[in-house]
Amino acid sequence: MSALLEVEHLGKRFGGVRAVHDVSFAIEEGQIFGLIGPNGAGKTTLFNLINGVIKPDTGRVALQGEAITGMAPYSVVHRGLARTHQIVKPLNDMTVLDNVIVGACFGPQKLKLKEAATAARDSLKTVELIDRAHVLAGTLNLAGKKRLEIARALAGQPRLLLLDETLAGLNPTEAERMIAVVRRIREESGVAILMIEHLMQVIMSLSDRIMVLNFGEKLAEGTPEEIAHDERVIEAYLGDPDLASRLMEQK
Amino acid sequence: MIFDLTASVINGVLVGAIYGLAAIGLTLIFGVMNVINLMHGATIALGMFSLYLLTTAVGLNPYLAIVPVLLGGFVFGVLVYWIAVHRVIGSSDLMTLLATFAVNMIIIGVGTAVWTTSPYNVDVSVPQLAISMHGYTIPGTQIVAAVLAVILATLLYGLLYHTRLGKAIRAVANNRAAAELMGINTRWVLAISFGIGIAVAAGAGVLIATLFPFTILSGANYELKSFVVVVLGGLGDPAGAMLGGIVLGLIEGVTAPFVNVSWTPVIEFTLFVIILVLFPAGLLAFKWGRK
Amino acid sequence: MGSQVILKRPTFWIILLATLAFALVPALTGNLELRENLLLGAVYIILASNLNLMIGYTAYVNFGNIAFFGLGGYIGLYVVNVLGWSLWPACLIAGVVVSLLAFILGTGILRLRGAYFALATIGVNEAVKAFVTNFEPFGGASGMYLSFSSFNALGGARHALWLAYFAIVVLMGLSLWLSLAIKNSRFGLGLFAIREDEDAAMVLGVRTPRYKSLVYAISAFIPAVAGTLFFFKNGVILPDQAFDLTLSIEAIVMLMLGGQGTVIGVALGAFAYEQLRGFLLVSSTFSQFQLVVAGVLLLLIVLFLPEGFMGWVYRHLPRLRRVIE
């Protein structure tokens, strides 16, 4: 039985820069997989390579055993992999509900308009945005737009959800709510999640497994405990050795 | 045959230099503010008629007339920028296209009312410069016009690369937000760039009018040629535009003996679309201030 | 969106009533001047609402939309005149051929975005015009004149002209209905997503290349058929007239005036523009300045009311948008 997502030796250069180099990992069904690393480590590029926004130079990506390497983003979505953007991309002049209907209509389940509207409402309830369903997406604040990103991706009922820094730019209260949303998504739908996050305590507490990227290369992979005590990770990323133990205590 | 071809090549390069100058006006505006200037043709026509007025009513030497036309064109361009373009800078492409096209309609409308659409011409001849070879004569006017086009393009190049203003213009073309942070008054840089673009187009109109008869609608034809040139040279790239102009002139000149001249636009525009799709950065792109 | 059956929408009935009025009022009164006036209005509505599918729904500015109309006219007249077929199959052939060409062309030029696409469409229009000007089977620069016998097949000239008029009015109704149907469909939703943010649409699963090519081909069909009918009724087709870039851009003015992306607004804009144009042409003061007035009007809309008339109305009465569109 193959894993839900398998990434093998993925690589991409931009000019002389090795943005991502020889990265391999696998995600199981229902798993939350954290991706961390310093700014510019190639995390978002890795997302773009996986979902087809950028074509990799080398390597292979497979979803449920099927190769999706270099497929167009829409073909990747149709096979069950949805994502959100770090820099939000709301469809500004459409209502919040219509935004999510787009995700439901054109996502993995390819729902008809009517069913899509129902799925979209459910999805908006999950992310606590249902009361804003009829306002234009462009008028939401950043926290709202981030939740809209998740609702859109979720509405098509994907097998795997890629979350790109859903907490960045949120104040502590908003972040708190967002973490609750992510937990709820996992409980309600059982969808596997691959998430990039900078807040260490969040990623440590949410993830089943964590991978650390540094200068485009995989530095380490393991359970949160293993990562927190990994020498190289502490040196390259966490900096302070005590931070790791504090993080684990908080968990 | 060989002489025919040589003559066609020379002819093509000479006309091409003027196409290049006209296109520089278009591409400068696109490069700096991402606006495709649909009043380009009308501006060329205005240049033509300014020449007509300055030579007939004022009695100015046609080649000296280019100076007041450039100045007038600049002032006119800055005015148009503040009235019609500034408000839509940064909104959708459709809005900037339509704003400049609206000005185009107004100019053509007024021009038609004043001059009708019948042809005019300006009497210029410089016989002492004409070159004859084996029964084919290249008129002196064509040589003077091409030389002036190259001089103007060089002056503009000097302005862009060796003055503070040029530096500011290039900075704004590269990244408007960053230029703003560096303390450049981008609003005025945009207005001035638009003025320069319009002045250059009007100047090209003057040069064209010394060669061929013209109507108020003639500009449209040169506007389309400028599009082709700009795509050949890379959108937003003045140096590429001059080269693109010469390439277009050569295509026209060299194909002339072999293909019926009425097929030239078919070739031109088909090439135009194909190049645009396959090489959106331009065939001869120099990467000048592209975003 | 989409929850209401299209028959329940008031707009469907407004379109039906307008179409009937266009057909019946000149027919019952026998007023030929009115017929010619409404004919031009109907053609403008056809051009503007099909263009709206590209500009208003998908945010791809097609400056060469008139090429569909002109090429349709040429193909249709060729089928009638040279092949000697009747008008109706000629219309169908024109529509299908032009749509297919648009689909193929679209897969190429729709890879371009924004201003680049707009430029390419100008190039397409000019290339097609230059080609037709040289294409001998289409009569080259001197165009094609319809032989009088073509009218006989439809029961004489008088009868044929009325038939062509009715057919154009039907196409007008169909164009508006098509705009409305697409707007309330899954296809339309995909187009709107592309309009708002093409990259986001792609990541949400919208098969953007196919959607763009499809809407480009669809927006070509009715204008091509209308081109056949219009030039059949004129009896002559010339390159400059068939591929008039100014009319292309005037169509954009019309849809801006009424409100891009709206169904009823675009129709109102086209009709109002036609009326205004007619008024300016016959007015003693303005006949010289028709283009100036149109230009000033366009500039004012662009600068101060970019959403257009109906866009403005819907912004102030959002409920109305849900009922009408």
The residue-averaged pLDDT of B166-184 equals 89
In a domain, C15, yes or no: yes
pLDDT of residue B125: 78
CATH number, domain B2-278: 1.10.3470
What one-letter code names the amino acid at A91?
L
pLDDT tens sequence across A16-54: 888 999 999 999 999 999 999 888 888 999 999 999 999
**A149: Cα within 13 Å, side-chain hemisphere:** 25
In a domain, C37, yes or no: yes
Please judge whether B88 and C303 are an interchain contact, meaning their C-beta atoms are less than 8 angstroms apart.
yes
Number of cross-chain residue pairs from A and C with Cβ atoms under 8 Å apart: 91
Nearest to B266 among C55, C131, C260 (CB): C131
Q: Which range is most confident: B89-98, B186-195, B223-232, C310-319?
A: B186-195
| pLDDT value for A194 | 95
Q: How far is C62 from chain B (nearest CA, A)?
A: 10
CA distance B241 to chain C (A): 16
Q: Chain C contact for B70, CB < 8 A?
A: no
| pLDDT for C108 beyond 60 | yes
3-state secondary structure of A161: strand
- Give the integer Cα–Cα distance in Å for A210 and A160: 16
The Cα diameter of chain C in Å comes to 57
pLDDT in tens, A82-94: 999 989 999 999 9
Q: Is A40 helix (H, G, I), strand (E, B) or coil?
A: coil
Q: Residue B268: is it exposed, middle or buried by C-beta count within 10 angstroms (0-12/13-18/19+)?
A: buried
Map tokens 């034809």 to a residue.
Answer: B221
Q: Which residues of chain C lie closer than 8 angstroms to A83, CB-CB?
A: 203
* CB atoms B94 and C290 under 8 Å: no
Whether the Cβ atoms of residue B181 and residue B60 lie closer than 8 Å to each other: no
Count of other CB atoms within 10 angstroms of residue C106: 24
Handedness of CA A20, A194, A141, A113 (dihedral sign): positive
| A237: DSSP letter | I
Higher pLDDT: C297 or A145? It is A145
Cα distance between residue B289 and residue C245, in whole Å = 31
CB-based touch B/A (3+ pairs, under 8 A)? no
Q: Does the beta-carbon distance from B273 to C109 stay under 8 Å?
A: yes
Reported as a pLDDT band with limits 50, 70 and 90, residue B283 is low
- CB distance C2–A113 less than 8 Å? yes
- Rounded to an integer, what is the distance from CA B249 to the centroid of its chain? 13
pLDDT in tens, C33-52: 999 999 999 999 999 999 99
pLDDT > 90: percent of chain A:
66
Instruction: Label the pairing between strands A192-196 and A17-27.
Output: unpaired
Query: What is the number of structural domains in chain C?
Result: 1
Instruction: Identify which of A8-17, B276-285, C122-131, C219-228 has the greatest average pLDDT.
Output: C219-228
Secondary structure (H, E, C), A118-155 = HHHHHHHHHCCCHHHCCCEHHHCCHHHHHHHHHHHHHH
Q: Tell me what pLDDT residue B34 has.
A: 87
**Confidence category of residue B291, pLDDT binned at 50, 70, 90:** very low
Residue C150 has a pLDDT of: 83
**Given pLDDT bands bounded at 50, 70 and 90, which one contains residue B286?**
very low
The pTM assigned to this predicted structure is 0.89
The tokens of C162 are what?
């009325």
**pLDDT of A244 strictly over 80:** no
Task: Say what the alpha-carbon torsion angle B248, B251, B252, B253 is, to the nearest 10 degrees.
Answer: 120
Q: What is the mean pLDDT of residues B94-103?
A: 91
The domain ranges of chain B are 2-278
Q: Which of A66-75, A225-234, B135-144, C308-317 has maximum average pLDDT?
A: A66-75
Q: Would you call C190 and A105 a contact, using CB atoms and an 8 Å cutoff? A: yes
Of B77-81, B176-180, B218-222, C125-129, highest mean pLDDT: B77-81
Q: How far is CA B156 from the centre of its chain?
A: 13
Please give the Cα distance from C276 to A29 (Å, whole number). Answer: 65
- Does A74 contact C200 at a Cβ distance shorter than 8 Å? no
Instruction: Flag if A94 and C208 touch (Cβ within 8 Å).
Output: no
Q: Is C1 contained in some domain?
A: no
- Structure letter (DSSP) for residue C283: -
- The alpha-carbon gap from C184 to the nearest alpha carbon of chain A, in Å, equals 9
Q: Indicate the SS3 state at residue B133.
A: strand
Are the CB atoms for B109 and B44 separated by under 8 Å? no
Residues 6+ apart with CB under 8 A from C165: C26, C35, C39, C233
pLDDT at A223 over 80: yes
The helix/strand/coil state of A171 is coil
What is the CATH classification number for the domain harbouring C18? 1.10.3470
The neighbours of chain A, by the rule of 3 or more Cβ pairs under 8 Å, are: C
Query: Residue B1 — very low, low, confident or very high, per pLDDT cuts 50/70/90?
Result: low
Euclidean distance between CA atoms B102 and B96, whole angstroms: 10
User: Considering only C127-141, C265-279, C280-294, which range has the smallest mean pLDDT?
Assistant: C280-294
> A38 or C237: whose pLDDT is higher?
C237
Does residue C235 surpass a pLDDT of 50? yes
Helix, coil or strand: residue B15: helix
Residue the block writes with tokens 């809309």: C301
Q: How far apart are CA A105 and CA A90, in angstroms?
A: 16
Residue C4: pLDDT above 70? Answer: no
Distance from CA of C38 to the nearest CA of A (A): 34
pLDDT in tens, C238-284: 999 999 888 888 899 899 999 999 999 999 999 999 998 888 878 77
Residue A169 CB partners (closer than 8 Å, separation 6+):
A142, A146
Rounded-to-integer distance, Cα B254 and Cα B25, Å = 26
pLDDT 10s digits, A81-129: 999 998 999 999 999 999 999 999 999 989 999 999 999 999 999 999 9
Please indicate if any CB of chain C lies within 8 Å of the CB of A92: yes
| Contact check, Cβ <8 Å, A91/C201 | yes
- Domain extent, residue C225, equals 6-324
- Pairing of β C236-237 and β A160-164: unpaired
